[in-house]
Amino acid sequence: MEKIAPIIPTTEKLETFIKAALQEDVGAGDHTSRACILPDSRSKARLFVKDPGVLAGVMFAEKVFQMVDPSAKLEVLIEDGRSISYGDVAFTVECNSRALLQAERLVLNCMQRMSGIATMSNRFKFEVEDLPVKILDTRKTTPLLRFLEKWAVKLGGCDNYRFGLYDWIMVKDNHIDACGGISAAIERVKNYQKENNLDLGVTIEVRNLVELYQVLEAGNVTRIMLDNFEITLLKEAVKIIGDQYETEASGGININNVRAYAQTGVNYISVGALTHSYNSLDLSLKVEK
Active site amino acids: 105, 140, 172, 205, 227
Q: How far apart are CA 18 and CA 103, in angstroms?
A: 9
Starting at the edge strand found earlier in the chain, the sheet holding 246-250 runs 134-136, 268-270, 246-250, 223-227, 202-206, 169-171
How many residues does the structure list for the chain? 289
Candidates 110, 170, 174, 171; CA nearest to 146 is 110
Asked if residues 85 and 52 have their Cβ atoms less than 8 Å apart, the reply is yes
Q: How far apart are CA 274 and CA 279, in angstroms?
A: 10
Asked if residues 117 and 56 have their Cβ atoms less than 8 Å apart, the reply is yes
Paired strand residues for 247: 224
* CA-based radius of gyration for the chain: 23
Half-sphere exposure of 199 (CA within 13 A, CB side): 3
Q: How far apart are CA 214 and CA 210, in angstroms?
A: 6
H or E, element range at 20: helix 11-26
H or E, element range at 135: strand 134-136
